[in-house]
Amino acid sequence: MITRRNFLQYSVLAAPALTGFREVFAQSDTIQFAGANPISGAFAANGTYSTMGLKLAIETYGKLMGKSLGYTVIDTEAKPATAVRKVQEAMQNNGIRFFSGAALSSVALAMGKEIDKSGGVYMTSAGADEITGSECNRATFRWSVPTFGAIEQTVRPLLSILPKAKRWYTITPQYVFGEGLLSAAKAVFEEKGIEHVGNSYHSLAEKEFSGYLTNAISTKPDVLLLLNFGSQASAAMRQAINFGMKKNMTIVMAWASGLEQFESLGADLCSDVYFGAQYWHTINAPYNKTFVALVNEHLKIDPNYSLASSYVCTKLILDGIAKANSTDPKAVIAAMEGMKYAGITGDEEIRKADHQVIKNYYLLKGKSKDKMQNKNDYMDMVSSGKSFLPLDKTLCKMA
């Protein structure tokens, strides 16, 4: 049985290009893809699983247009400038035109601009509204629900579930993703008459949240809303619970990274905490059942969000190539625009005007350990729904 620990070890062995990029199956008759993710640094776990999602999509798709499929692993190091430089090298020196990945919105925005300028196709699961909004471009597609929708499907339903929770405190990473979540949350607070009693910003390098949590406790909030992601969200939540905050307030993580994160936290910490999620492996959708079975068979685990989103982003570009019957990026982009398909969250659609996938976002609640029916049964699904800005509000001006 593959555990989380040895799965991560296996993943690293399967994707050895940890400091740069390396071609895999690089023959002239191969259609090359690149997965650009943070393989090192604070978000390395997300990047490692994302690489496995890319690899699974490539290796299970089969030949395309009579050609083999290959992949390259790019370590973005969670740094926009580093990601852009490595993308440039991949495009100029290796002729790669098809990209997926980037856990951080700032990295995704920088990569998307470079890939658009240089003539490629890029699909991401990063969350900043700007990706399919004010900084949209022809090359970039986004599978994940943006920050607006994530808040609409977490904060808004919680206000109905917790009608007495009138005082909310937020902890926010100080970059474009965090700012997007915070702005959307403030809009809901104002509309619903919620008192936003305070906010603490932190850097992407932060690991110690005790000072921010002390500030939060001093405001006596009803709800602590975590707007950070990955290991930082886990650290903030773990420290908050160690401070005893779960006894005195409701804790909400607006954008969880799913099963991988819940495994690292454990059921005792997750119990009674609310999580917003792009994906959960028990979603009752026909294609999700097929996908989970595929992951179970090949990797002997249940899929988490990072793996699932990378698989889907890669597969959608592959489907675009198949539909266009061409590897010309312009033809592939045209084929992907407006595409409707059975996805892992149910019926999904790539909105043509801004390249945003229209899909569900989920509100989960952590189960107590004695209620878990199997080792991955960490969550109850509380609600789900689709919330997207109308096109005239996205600020997308597609060239």
Q: Specify if 354 maps to a domain.
A: yes
> Is residue 252 assigned to a domain?
yes
Rounded to 10 deg, the angle between the 329-336 and 305-324 helix axes is 110
Same-domain pairing of 265 and 381: yes
pTM (two decimals) = 0.90
Indicate if 106 and 173 belong to the same structural domain: no
Judgement on whether residues 211 and 262 belong to the same structural domain of the protein: yes
Is position 222 within any domain? yes
The pLDDT value given to residue 22:
38
- In this structure, the answer to whether residues 323 and 368 fall within a common structural domain is no
- 74 and 46, same structural domain? yes
Query: Would you call 159 helix, strand, or coil by DSSP?
Result: helix
On whether both 382 and 243 belong to a single domain, the answer is yes
pLDDT at residue 46 in the model: 87
> Looking at the structure, do residues 10 and 128 belong to the same domain, yes or no?
yes
In a domain, 397, yes or no: no
Statement to judge: residues 187 and 275 lie in one domain: yes
Is 254 a domain residue?
yes
CATH number assigned to the domain comprising residue 118: 3.40.50.2300
**Could you read off the pLDDT tens digit of each residue along the chain, which spans 399 residues?**
334 433 333 333 333 333 333 344 344 589 999 999 999 988 888 899 999 999 999 999 989 999 999 999 999 999 999 999 999 999 999 999 999 998 889 999 999 999 999 999 999 999 999 999 999 999 999 999 999 999 999 999 999 999 999 999 999 999 999 999 999 999 999 999 999 999 999 999 999 999 999 999 999 999 999 999 989 999 999 999 999 999 999 999 999 989 999 999 999 999 999 999 999 999 999 999 999 999 999 999 999 999 999 999 999 999 999 999 999 999 999 999 999 999 999 999 999 999 999 999 999 999 999 999 999 999 999 999 999 999 999 999 987
Contacts 24+ apart (CB under 8 A), 115-122: 115/87, 115/91, 115/139, 115/140, 116/140, 118/87, 118/88, 118/91, 118/92, 119/91, 119/329, 120/91, 120/96, 120/329, 121/97, 121/317, 121/320, 121/329, 121/332, 121/333, 121/336
What's the number of domains the chain is made of? 2
Do the domain assignments include residue 399?
A: no
Domain that holds residue 264: 149-282+361-392
Nearest 5°: phi and psi at 34? -130, 130
202 and 346 assigned to the same domain: no
Residues 298 and 375 in one domain: no
Q: Which pLDDT does position 163 carry in this prediction?
A: 96
In a domain, residue 336? The reply is yes
- For helices 230-242 and 44-61, give the axis angle rounded to 10 degrees: 140
CA distance 91 to 101: 15
**Pair 277, 387 in one domain:** yes
DSSP string, 48-95: HHHHHHHHHHHHHH--BTTBEEEEEEEE-TT-HHHHHHHHHHHHHHH-
State residue 377's pLDDT score: 97
Residues 179 and 275 in one domain: yes
pLDDT score at 41: 85
The answer to whether residue 398 sits within a structural domain is no
